[in-house]
Chains A and B, each alone.
Chain A
Amino acid sequence: MMTNPTGRLTQGQFSFLPDLTDAEIALQIEYGLKKGYAWAVEYTDDPHPRNTYWEMFGMPMFDLNDAAGVMLELKSCRSTFPQHYIRLVAFDSTRGVETIAMSFIVNRPPVEPGFGLVRQETNGRTMRYTIRGYEAERAEGERYRK
């Protein structure tokens, strides 16, 4: 259990908390909008920690006034990719910042087997370690299905 203590993927904000409800997600979005961030929806079925760039679902949303707009997009992403990881990211375009300011998971597959530790024996007694997602064995689009 060393690699997956909570049985859940822990990336981004709030990931050690119980899943946020839609109302709570909307409050976070609202906070970001007040700060002037542009929200975007991203999804993946390869949540390896080094997989920084997830797939974008539609365009980043600039000029929004209300969380309902982002929620609309999130819901349509959920219905398209119910088994995928989905996250919301907020981009802060302030000059000199120009980076992601918030990011949190808003959809998870029903079962999250996590990552296995792979040991590779090399020269002498040297060991190389890496992690590999159990679901990553399967083809893209086939993962996290029962």
Chain B
Amino acid sequence: MYNIPGSVTTPASGASPDKAGEGAEQADGVRTARTVAEVMAQSQAGDVLDELDRELVGLAPVKARIRDIAALLVIDRLRMNQGLQAQTPSLHMSFTGNPGTGKTTVALRMAQILHRLGYIRKGHLVAVTRDDLVGQYVGHTAPKTREVLKKAMGGVLFIDEAYYLYRPDNERDYGQEAIEILLQVMENSRDDLVVILAGYGDRMETFFQSNPGMRSRIAHHLEFPDFVEGELLRIAEMMLEQQNYRFGPGARETFQEYIAHRIRQPQFANARSVRNALDRARLRQASRLFANPDKELTVDDLSTIESPDIRASRVFDLGAAATPNN
């Protein structure tokens, strides 16, 4: 095979084992990595992992699993550099967890990490749901699914709420066709893309039960735990900081109280509820400042969320109503 400038030749096909054994330099003068640190430094995967640790609150089991996967890929790289057999591991995953626990966020990071470690070639994420895969009439589904798969090649295909693909009540449902194409590509094109299925735990379980082929093709099942109150508060502070806001005196405590109420109410969506609450608090802060048209506003005024901005939330009334003795 000829070499086009800029094309990557994989070490497996490029360097013969005996040549690699002498710590040979690669064509571009970079030493072939021999240590974990070298692989990490060359791939800059460590940066993404650290970023993941810093920017995502909690999620300890998920982070541990991602580190495990990174470790496997790094060791595989080292094995390949030494001319040992390194079979591409299957990295299809399922992310289960309640709304707003960070599944989509982690999937995006995952694409970056896998790209840096050289597992996927491009590192983009294509996020889809049932509507993007399943057609409306006979013969519509296959091209639609294949279209999406082709776009995802070289990156990560993220299927949100994957269980909607399977409708047990309708045996002629086109979703089954999409699942079959997915299964085939997941098996045959392992080197070309990583599929991540995401959804709520119990419904994913039923989905896997009725599609055993799907379960057996997924090597990693990651469960996203709900956040505890302390974590939600930290998430809130991080979100504010990113947007150049901060809590005024007492506001932090008020928000803590807010979380304690909100967490018990229906339709609580973890980090997303926090984001929404902060958006509404910003709205109230804006109206508060707006009401005083002649006041000169300082940086402090503009960036401080005060306790009343949060206190005005309906959540507090509902919380009080739900626990009358409080």
Seen from chain A, the residues whose Cβ lies within 8 Å of a Cβ on chain B are: 21, 23-24, 27, 30-31, 58-59, 61, 63-70, 72-73
Contact = CB atoms under 8 A, between A and B. Distances in A.
Main secondary structure on B side of the interface with A:
loop
A65 B151 contact: yes
B323 interface: no
Nearest to A26: B7
Contacts of B4: 27, 31
B154 interface: yes
A58 B122 CA distance: 24
Contacts of B122: 65-66
Interface string B140-173: 0001001101111111000000000000000000
B193 interface: yes
Contact of A64 (B121, B143, B150): B150
Contacts of B146: 58, 72-73
Contacts of B237: none
B2 A24 contact: yes
A61 B146 CA distance: 11
Contacts of B1: 21, 23-24, 27
Contacts of A23: 1
A68 B7 contact: no
B103 interface: no
A58 B150 CA distance: 12
Contact of A69 (B7, B143, B151): B151
Nearest to A62: B151
A65 B192 CA distance: 11
A65 B153 contact: yes
Given A58-B143, A66-B153, A68-B192, 9 more contacts: A21-B1, A24-B1, A24-B2, A31-B4, A64-B153, A65-B154, A67-B154, A68-B191, A72-B150
Contacts of B152: 69
B246 interface: no
Nearest to B7: A27
Interface in B175-213: 185, 189, 191-193
Contacts of A61: 150
A63 B124 CA distance: 12
Contacts of A24: 1-2
Contact of B155 (A21, A66, A72, A73): A66
Contact of A73 (B2, B124, B150, B154): B150
A73 to B, nearest CB: 7
A63 B152 CA distance: 10
